[in-house]
Structure formats: structure tokens, C-alpha cells
A and B are shown apart, each in its own frame.
Chain A
């Protein structure tokens, strides 16, 4: 070995090979340097963006939605604290493993969770995906316990909507929900982002722009485990505006109670201003149950309910007005100088164009002064015949039927005012004079909505002054949004329909007589209150058709339009009782609301005069202080409107 070793002594490495080694060294380091140049100099901008996306996390700061109050500042819709869970995709390492775990821990169906994640696939990665709202303490504990395995889960404290329980005023107020895919594709919702809460119906929808506010965000610096290690800046959330409605909670409660157990609607309105004081629709739904996390079958159940609980019948039910239409007939007849001297002998009915039309009674000799309180069909058959359908249509249209009233609620229905042109357009047939006879008593093709009827009769009782019904005071709308809202609800608007003072007196006296002994609504006579009104009983299904459906007798809707005082009324109330036998049944509902109104006005005024002073409708807070208003409502204070579990939020009032 020693000799072997010695043999190599004094040998030198060939210089050429060492030169080659130098070149290899230079080449390798040059390649590395070029690689560094490419990353650090040529592409540094894109890597900088990635580095920032790594460490900066945008945490949304949700804007609290504006609360909703009644005209006296009493709380109707509140917010309550709730915890939502979000998914941060940047933190998610393996969707196939994590999603089933999340679905299990948060009690969400896996397919639903996957669909949610898929919906966001084109949104920027840093944008959090709302996974579940209003999570339970158990679910919150699950998220806390799995911080390491599921760093992508983030919780967020927010404010949720708290509606009155039992579907109180649900149709009018509406509800909120997550903005839908279709809405996001609609330019109208350009400034909404996936996951945003948006008003889906009622006031919540109409005034969403005022109520919603604007979400802010907080830029926090995090490490790779999602731990917050600092924060950069904050765009504060802009809270939504509170909204004061024209609704009077006291009247709303009375109306809600009056209609309890029935299907139908009640609308109470101040004819001087068009302010809606109460609006009820039945059956109702509980917006608390499904504005947050409605289950699919629950939702289907509501959608498929034959009674259409989501329908706001006050503005969407289009039904034959029955005898309430006789007020419009009277106005037309009197203005056309036909009714003034018209005397009809009622023998329980009459034959017109070969068809017998019956009346409810044998009224004998009837003139306009008796025709209204007695609601004599025979008289109005004759009047209709003399006026003709075109004149009837002209007046009905003048008084706002067959078109939207322009109330500030979404999806108002128009109803139908039949005319020759209408028949030709829809049925391609000529109008037969015989059809006019039924229209005279509010039957046949004529249909109205309760709000239309309230407005039309308000206008007639106010000497022809027509107001646009509305639920929100004009001064509640911020100046910059006034124009937008002014154009949002085209309807027949505010106008004055010519009405001769003598005719006005005749009609209003006739309606007052209807609630006096001998009138059709005598049962709802209230001593000391100048109560006027008109009943209506509209057949929806005839005897023959009902028999085919296996029902006995006919199906009717009971209407009543009531007001006080009879001329220039301070309140007009319309009640629709679907399936009610007679108009006088509805009259009792209206009487309850009117009585509550009058009682309240008198208490506020501190005396018991027969003619109550006109309330300062737009500023009742000063006239009716909170302290005085409360004893009337008794145990049903605002707080009692809220669900039991979250009373602490409502109780702060």
C-alpha cells in the first residue's frame, strides 16, 4: 500500500481539467444568478402581489341595517347580535378533506356547501365565502376546537334582523335574505356582492338602499396559521339609516287581532296625506323563520300553500269589489246628472237584456239617498244600464282603479276596470250591454285591490282629493335619493278629481246612513262616532260552480270600507274578509280599527268631544308622547313584540 501511495507522489493535476472546473463553477453560479434575476427583478411585481395576498386578509366589517320604527318612534324591526361563519379559500389546503369535515361540524348538507364554494369560484381568492349564518354556540365551539385543522374557518359577529313574532306586519315590512345569483346579474344590484344581505320584499326591499348601509373592511396582517399579527387599516362600515313608517302600531295591533283567524286584508289610511296607518294580510308567515336559514322544504311549503301566505293581499289581491263599487257608481251617476233624479222600484230584482238579476231585498221605491245605505242592487243595475260601461270605466279609472296606486311597496297589482276596449284587447270580443249590469254592483270582470279601494273611497269622501298611499314619510328619504324614490312607484299619483260639493254630500251622507239603524252595516254603528262606510259582498264562486267543487252554497268575499268623520275623513279603513258571508262582517273589523283610532285621538286630546280634533299626523311624537301612548297598549308594549329569547335587544327602548 505504501509503495502504491508513493507512486503517485509529485504528480500534478492537469491544468486543463482545473480550468474546466472553473468554467463549470462560473456556469452554475451564472445560471443561479439568472434565475434570481428572473424572479427578483423581472417578476417581482407579481410575487409582491402574492406576498401581500398571503399576509393581508380582508375581514369584512358588516354595516348594521337600519331599524324600522312606527310613526311614533316605537320599534318594529330590530337587529340582534349573531355569529356567522366564513370560509377563507386561501387558507384551505385540501377541499376534498376539509369540506366534509366542515359540513359535518356545522350541520350543513355537503352538496349545499360544495355548491356555495362553487358559486364563488370566479370571485377573487381572498374574498371570504359565507358558509353559515347565525351559528349555534356548539358550532362556534367546533370552529374554535379545529383552528389548526381548519384554519380556513373564520367567525364574524354581526347584527341580524329581528322581526315581530307571529308574522305581525310581515307582508308590509317584508324580509331580508342573501342576494341571489339572478339579482347579482341584474345591473340594478351592481353594488351588491355575493353574500350581501338584501331586502327581498316589502319595506325591506323598497327601502333597501336606505336601510342597508355600506359594509367596511379591516386589513389584518396574519401569519401562515391565520393568526393576526397586526393590522394595516380599516374602511369603516357605514350603518344603514333607520326608517320611520307611517304605521301606527296601536292601530296595526288592533287590525292584526281583528283579522286573526281569517283570510283577507285590512288597510287603514289617512286620506289627507295618503299615510298608511295599518296594513295587515292573512294568512301570514314568520320572516324570522326563513330570512336567515330557511330549510328547503319549509320554503317549498310556504310557496305551495294554496292560501299564498307570502302574498300581501292588501296590495296584491285582485278581487271583485262587490257593493263597495256602488260608491264609485254613485259618484259617476251623480256627476253625470243621472242619479240625482233616478227613482227605481225594487221588486227584489229586475230583468235586463233578457237576464234576470236579483236584489237582496224588495226595497220598493229607491233613490240615491237610500240606494247607498240599503245597497239596493236593482237601483245600481238600472244606473249602470243608463251610464254604460264606458262612463263607468272613465270614473273608475279617474278614481284610480285598474292601475297602481303607487304605494311604496314592490309588486303592487293593478286590478281590472272593464271597458269595450279592454274586452276587445283581452278576449277579442265585443262588449255586451248586458255585462254592464253586473259591473254596476261590482261583480263581473271588475277587480280591485284593497289599497285601491281605500284610495278611491278616500278620494270621494275627501271631495275628490286623491293622495298616493305610502308607508314611509317623505322626510325619511335622504335628499340624494329623493329623485330615485319619486320615480320608483309610478301610479295614478296625487290629483283632484272634480266632484260637485252637493254630490259629495249625498254620497258621504249615504255612507253614514249605512252604519245607522236601517243601513246594511247598522250593527257596526258606534255611538258618538261619525262613522260612515259601505259594505260589499262579492261572489267569487257561484252556486253552480260551488256545487261542482263539492261545496254547499256560494263562496263570497266580505268587504267593508269605513271612515270617520264622514266628510274629509281622518281615517279610511278597508277590510277584506275572504270567505266572509256578508259585508257587515267586515264592517265589524273596520269598526274595531276606527274605534281604536278615535279612542286614541280623544285620549291624546284629553277630552271626549264627539268630533275629535284632527291629529297632527306627521308629527305625532310631540302630540302623543310615548308615556301617554303606552297605557293604551297595555301589556302589548313594543318589547312584547319581540321573540322571548332576544328580549334584551328590544328592551333597550
Chain B
């Protein structure tokens, strides 16, 4: 037990908890005058559960987890298929499976964890070998299959969060420049073909993806959301309007200010100074993860940590980018900030895997 305390990454946990406190406070502020008042308490419960799960995850050896990675992958695919067949339809999308006891289970979030492990396992097996196009295609199939299933639900945001796992794996797994360029060209052509054929995405998804470039074209839908988000962030100024004083947040102009747009609410109330502080925290957390990847005892450990870092960076970039009008509205939550059980539990479990890897850095 003493070794657990010695090897556990308390610095990382400290920064994570600091962000969690900021998250709870901002959720409190953003829901103060809405019917969602009290959500910050639920968030605290989620964080508490997340901490327990994180410690549990840290205890189980990741090597053991890797053994079961492909089995878990198979179960995940089955679960995603089950969602499509028997899932509960909410707002036109099947994302949840109703479990006995009134629990709604959203497999697509947990598949991320499994994918991180599966990809780590896959590239570990390929270690010390030059990647062939066949290897690359296999990697694509590995991530692409669950991605397509989630896209089918449809849940574009979650499906996109699978892609950084693949990209990270390819980059760290030793893809060569020429291969990368060829891949970019092939996927660029493929994607634009599918885009214009209309088979890949539903019209509302397309509109969401493009309206951020010209929000005034779609003032009622996502264009309105982006507009209000920009107003919230911009009007926050250097120092912000103060906690619970954001007019955009409190007046309900900002859409869902406790989940997807929580960063906009935070920016409005705490200004550029607050926003820079949070971005700095993210930077330090991610740098810490990269450092942990470096000190990992073996290759799969590094892949796991980097997979977690890649997913987190991707979510931060897409969410903050959306809030400041640089990215489309995709419904991707901001890790450690946005309200929501699935998001909080995933993040803490993922960080648990990171702790797991770190604690075993001196093993062997």
C-alpha cells in the first residue's frame, strides 16, 4: 500500500481535482436560474464515483487489461449492434440501452476505453516493424468498425472522438511520411465523395458542420448557438463578469451552458484570465500525461497513456474550438468540465489507466 501512495501521480490528481472544482462551481452558476438547478450536486456524485473507479482502475494491472483487449473489443461491437437494434430512441437517435433498474447505458462512451486498449495492443504487436499498408488498413478497420456503428446511431460527436486514438496509434506506431500523405489524399477524396453523395451524413449533421463558418445563415439552429456562444465569450472581456453574473449564461441565451457550452459560460464569467488559467491547467495535465508515456515501462503502456492524451486533446480542441467559433457544433463535451455522468466516468477511468501505467513504470 505504501508503494501505491508513492507511485500514484498525486500531481496529476491535484490538477484534475482543481479542474473538477472549477467544473462544479461553473455548473452551479450556469444552472442557478434554470430548471436544472442542483446539477452541480449530481456532478459531485459523478466525480466521487469517478475517483473510486479511477483508483480501482489504477490497481488492476494494465498488462492484464491488454490480455482481454480483443475480447472486450468483440463485446463492444456486439453492444453497439445491440443499441442499433434494441436501443432507446431519444431525439431521433438510438444511443442508449435501457438496463433493468432504470439505468440508461450508453456503450459508445465505454468503447473509447476499449479502443485505446485494443489499439495499444495492436501496435504493440507490430512493434519494431515497418508499417505496411496492410497493417495500416487493419488499424483503420479496427477503429473504423465501431466508428461506423456509432455514426449509424447517429452520434457524430462520439464517433469522431474515436479518430484521435487511431491517428495517435499510427503516428506513434511508426507511420512514414509518404504513407501519411497517401492516406490523407485517399481519405480526403473518399470523404468529399461521401459528403457530396449524402450517404455518410444526415443533412442536419452537414448543416451543423458548416454553419460555424457563417452563423448568420442559420440563425435559428446551430448558427444561433455559435452566435450566442461568441457573444458570451467575447463579452466576458479580460476579467469576466463575475461568477453567476454572466448575462448570456444567466439569461439563458447561451445554449446548454452546463454541458457542451460550459466553457463559454466560464469565459463569460471569468474572462480571458480565467480561460487562460483553465487552458494552462489542460496543458499541464496533458504534458504530465506525455511525461508518463515517456516513463512507461513498456510500449503498450505508452500507447495507452498517449491514447488517453490524444482523446482528451481532441475533445478540448473541438469543444473549445466550437465555443470560440473555430470548429463546428458536434456535441463533444469538454473533459473534466462538462456536466454528465458518462463523460466524467470515462475521463476518470481513462486517467485511472494512466495512473495504472505510471505506477508500474519501475516494474520489471
Interface residues of A (CB under 8 A from B): 4-5, 7-13, 15, 17-18, 20-22, 24-26, 28-29, 31-33, 35-37, 39-41, 43-44, 46-48, 50-52, 54-55, 93-94, 221-225, 229
Contact = CB atoms under 8 A, between A and B. Distances in A.
The 6 closest A-B pairs by CB, nearest first: A47-B234, A51-B235, A40-B272, A11-B299, A8-B124, A8-B127
A40 B298 contact: no
24 contacts: A5-B67, A11-B124, A11-B128, A12-B298, A13-B296, A18-B293, A18-B306, A21-B171, A21-B290, A21-B306, A21-B309, A25-B283, A25-B286, A28-B313, A29-B283, A32-B326, A37-B272, A40-B237, A44-B234, A51-B234, A223-B250, A223-B251, A223-B252, A224-B228
Contacts of A5: 66-67, 121, 124-125
Nearest to A13: B302
B236 interface: yes
A46 B172 CA distance: 44
B121, B228, B231, B252 interface centre (most CB from chain A within 10 Å): B231
A29 B251 contact: no
Contact of B294 (A11, A18, A33, A36): A18
B219 A93 contact: yes
Nearest to B220: A93
Interface of B: 33, 66-67, 121, 124-125, 127-128, 171-172, 219-220, 224, 228, 230-238, 247-248, 250-253, 267, 271-272, 275-276, 279, 282-283, 286-287, 290, 293-294, 296, 298-300, 302-303, 306, 309, 313, 316-317, 320-321, 324-326, 364
A37 B302 CA distance: 34
A229 B252 CA distance: 11
Contacts of A18: 290, 293-294, 302, 306
Given A22-B287, A25-B283, A12 B302 contact: yes
A224 B326 CA distance: 24
Contacts of B247: 51-52, 54-55, 221
Contacts of A9: 298-299, 364
Given A40-B233, A40-B236, A54-B228, 7 more contacts: A18-B306, A24-B313, A29-B282, A40-B238, A44-B235, A48-B237, A51-B231
B287 A25 contact: yes
B275 A7 contact: no
Contacts of B125: 4-5, 7-8
Contacts of A29: 279, 282-283, 316
A17 B172 contact: yes
B258 to A, nearest CB: 15
Contact of B300 (A8, A21, A33): A8
Contacts of A52: 247
B324 A35 contact: yes
Nearest to A46: B234
Chain B interface, DSSP helix/strand/loop, else mixed: helix
A40 B251 contact: no
A1 B224 CA distance: 53
A28 B321 CA distance: 10
A155 B66 CA distance: 67
A613 B298 CA distance: 123
Given A4-B125, A54-B247, A47 B287 contact: no
A11 B233 contact: no
A41 B224 CA distance: 22
B321 to A, nearest CB: 7
Contacts of A223: 33, 250-253
Contacts of B172: 13, 17, 21
Given A8-B127, A93-B220, A44 B238 contact: yes
Contacts of B282: 29
B252 A40 contact: no
A35 B264 CA distance: 13
A557 to B, nearest CB: 65
A24, A36, A54 interface centre (most CB from chain B within 10 Å): A36
Contacts of B275: 36, 40
A208 B316 CA distance: 63
Contact of B298 (A10, A46, A54): A10
A21 B286 CA distance: 10
Contacts of B67: 5
A26 B283 contact: yes
A41 B251 contact: no
A13 B293 contact: yes
A32 to B, nearest CB: 5
A39 B299 contact: no
Contact of A15 (B127, B231, B294): B294
Nearest to A53: B231
Contacts of B124: 5, 8, 11
A20 to B, nearest CB: 8
A625 to B, nearest CB: 59
A5 B252 CA distance: 53
B234 A43 contact: yes
Nearest to B234: A47
Contacts of B321: 32, 35
A7 B247 CA distance: 59
